[in-house]
A and B are shown apart, each in its own frame.
Chain A
Amino acid sequence: RKEVEQDPGPFNVPEGATVAFNCTYSNSASQSFFWYRQDCRKEPKLLMSVYSSGNEDGRFTAQLNRASQYISLLIRDSKLSDSATYLCVVNPQGYQKVTFGIGTKLQVIP
């Protein structure tokens, strides 16, 4: 089983739609979780951290489910500018390597 798994998509959604992505992880000792955004052929950039109690940043909501070992990202009122690949990132306990999911591609269509 892969350490971090994501559905690669693509998810094609109309403007204004709500879309959600999940990301599962295998290491139950994982401590920190993030969502990154990557535009085509550019470097990934931090979108938001994922906290145990869930957190929101504008139209974006991130949640963590430790029991089922997954994190989620919800995007409300999708904009054309949200079109990108969304990578989930899991940091294991301690100082070991950072693990990225394969990324989920989102295409928001007019």
Chain B
Amino acid sequence: EAQVTQNPRYLITVTGKKLTVTCSQNMNHEYMSWYRQDPGLGLRQIYYSMNVEVTDKGDVPEGYKVSRKEKRNFPLILESPSPNQTSLYFCASKGLTSNTEAFFGQGTRLTVV
């Protein structure tokens, strides 16, 4: 089954404690992306990647890091989380052709206290 898998689904952490949210896809997609979704602000892109070792900033990259060492994985790293990073996070993947569908993971609800 084609899918994007995020882990964990729910996470409560404390300010400053480094964390990683994993994202893995089994569709051999080149494009992967991270979004955060906040009430009234919609989906905002954090980082995206066109292929292995190719990453670029989205609209709200501050406080986040990503890596793309393998095609299937695109982890999101918060080196020093802060309460303003409390949000619902989605990972997505798609093929590079512009008319292809994006598939989303089930989301990670992060709370930073």
Given contacts A43-B106, A101-B42, whether A95 and B101 have CB atoms under 8 Å apart is no
Choose from A43, A87, A100, A103 the contact partner of B105 (Cβ within 8 Å): A43
Interface string of A20-38 (1 = CB under 8 A from B): 0000000000011010000
Given A41-B107, A97-B33, A97-B48, the answer on whether A46 and B43 have CB atoms closer than 8 Å is no
Q: Is the CB of A98 within 8 A of B99?
A: no
Query: In whole angstroms, how far apart are the Cα atoms of A43 and B105 in the complex?
Result: 7
Stretch at the interface among B14-22, B64-72, B77-85, B90-98: B90-98
A49-106 interface with B by 8 A CB criterion: 49, 87, 89, 91-95, 97-103
Interface of A is mostly: loop
Interface size class of B (residues with CB under 8 A): 20 to 34
Chain A residues near B99 (CB, 8 Å)? 31-32, 49, 91
Q: Is B73 an interface residue (CB 8 A)?
A: no
Which chain A residues lie closer than 8 Å to B42 at the CB level?
8, 87, 100-103
B50 interfacial contact with A, CB 8 Å: yes
**Is B102 a contact of A89 with CB atoms below 8 Å?**
yes
Residues of B within 8 A of A93 (CB): 98
Report which B residues bind A (CB closer than 8 A): 31, 33, 35, 40-43, 45, 48, 50, 56, 58, 88, 90, 92, 94, 96, 98-99, 101-102, 104-107, 109
Cα separation A3 to B42 with both chains bound (whole Å)? 13
Bound form: Cα–Cα A104–B100 in Å:
22
User: Whole-angstrom distance from the CB of B26 to the nearest CB of chain A?
Assistant: 16
**What total of chain A residues lie within 8 Å of the partner, measured CB to CB?**
25
Cβ–Cβ < 8 Å partners of B107 in chain A: 41-43
Given A31-B98, A102-B43; 4 other pairs, CB 8 A cutoff: A8-B40, A31-B99, A93-B98, A98-B102
Residues of B close to A32: CB separation below 8 A: 98-99
Interface centre among A31, A42, A44, A91 (most CB of B within 10 A): A44
Contact between chains at A92 and B98 (CB < 8 Å): yes
- From A91, which residue of chain B is reached at the shortest CB distance? B98
Q: How far is it, in angstroms, between the C-alpha of A100 and the C-alpha of B92 when the chains are bound?
A: 12
A38: min CB distance to chain B, Å? 9
